[in-house]
Copies of this chain bind each other. A is one copy, B any other.
Amino acid sequence: MKAAIPVEPPMAPCLSIFFLFIVTFCVTLTAAAAAGHYSLQTFFPRPAYQSLIKHAKTPKPKLPFKTRYFPQTLDHFSFHPKSSKIFYQKYLINTQYWHKGAPIFVYTGNEGDIEWFAANTGFMLDIAPKFRALLLFIEHRFYGESMPFGKDSYQSAKTLGYLNSQQALADFAVLIRSLKQNLSSEASPVVVFGGSYGGMLAAWFRLKYPHIAIGALASSAPILQFDKIIPWSSFYDAVSLDFKDVSQNCYEVIKGSWAELVAISNQKQALAELSKAFRTCKSLHSTASVLEWLWTAFVYTAMLNYPTEANFLKPLPAYPVQQMCKIIDKSPSGATKLTRAFAAASLYYNYSQTENCFEVEHEVDPHGLHGWHWQTCTEMVMPMTCSNESMFPPSGFDYKKFAEQCRMKYGVLPRPHWITTEFGGERIEKVLKRFGSNIIFSNGMQDPWSRGGVLRNISATIIALVTEKGAHHIDFRAATKDDPDWLIQQRRQEVENIQRWLDEYYVDLRHA
Contacts and interface: CB of A to CB of B under 8 A. Distances in A.
Interface string A500-512: 0000100011000
Contacts of A242: none
Given A431-B210, A431-B211, A435-B436, A157 B76 contact: no
A57 interface: no
Given A208-B208, A422-B170, A436-B210, A81 B157 contact: yes
Contacts of A424: 209-212
Interface stretch (A102-110, A123-131, A161-169, A313-321): A161-169
Interface string A394-420: 000000000000000001110101101
B508 A430 contact: yes
Nearest to A74: B78
Contacts of A166: 76-77
Contact of A79 (B170, B173, B412, B427): B412
Contacts of A174: 421
Contacts of A157: 79-81
Contacts of A417: 177
Interface residues of A, number: 59
A448 interface: no
Q: Determine which residue in A412, A413, A461 has the highest number of CB atoms from chain B within 10 A of its CB, and name it.
A: A412
A188 interface: no
Nearest to A424: B211
A426 B509 CA distance: 13
Contacts of A411: 81
Given A211-B425, A430-B508, A433-B508, A412 B77 contact: no
B83 A161 contact: yes
A173 B81 contact: no
A237 interface: no
Contacts of A415: 73, 79
A39 interface: no
A86 to B, nearest CB: 12
A438 interface: yes
A158 B84 CA distance: 12
Contacts of A83: 161
A428 to B, nearest CB: 8
